[in-house]
Amino acid sequence: FSKKPVVTGTFTVESFEIMKDMLVAVRGSERALREKPLAIFDCCPSPPLKWSNLTCQNLIDASKAGIPAELVSMPLTGATSPVTLAGALVQLTAENLSGIVIHQLAHPGSPIIFGGSPAAFDMRKGTTPMGAVETMMIDAAHVQIGKHLGLPTHAYMGLSDAKIVDGQAGLETGMGALVAALAGANVISGPG
């Protein structure tokens, strides 16, 4: 048991109610849960620009329950989004804004977090170098867009591509965490 909120998600429409019932049991009532949520639900669009029925339903259910939803758009430059950082940012912003519309139509004013996990895509290797400078740049930029819109923000930063705990791991993790802090991210996921 933890008094700290957890970031979670659902894999079926039915599991949202089960998870909500567990959260209500801990808090004591739906009103108490709404006042002090115990969880944040990740809701991820499928790039480019697609929301699945499951994810849309999760956005709606979280909104109606007053449980914060965290939008996690994941454009990969040149793979699931335009190859340029600016193009990927435009796509991330469009996906997140459409998610906000779905969420807020269900219950205006419900808590929502503008987030994402955009990344550069290495077409030669078919990998996403999460410790790359380009990935940190696009993450910092999407955090700034969320801040400009007056929303709490989330980023997957402080990650490394190192295969072992070494100098590369320390440098990439430290630089990512520093960039996230300087960008003003409210929630940072991924390290550890």
The amino acid present at 145, given as its one-letter code, is I
Domains, the chain: 6-189 (3.20.20.480)
pLDDT tens digit at each of 192 positions of the chain: 677 888 999 999 999 999 999 999 999 999 999 999 999 999 999 999 999 999 999 999 999 999 999 999 999 999 999 999 999 999 999 999 999 999 999 999 999 999 999 999 999 999 999 999 999 999 999 999 999 999 999 999 999 999 999 999 999 999 999 999 999 999 998 775
For the record, the structure tokens of 192 come out as: 């550890």
Token output for 120: 């550069």
Cα–Cα separations (whole angstroms), residue 93 to 75, 162, 181? 10, 29, 20
Q: d(Cα 87, Cα 159) in Å, to the nearest integer? A: 23
Task: Say what the pTM is.
Answer: 0.93
- Looking up tokens 């040149």 gives 78
**Residue pointed to by tokens 């991820």:** 44
Say how many CA atoms lie within 13 Å of 13 toward its Cβ: 6
d(CA 65, CA 192): 30
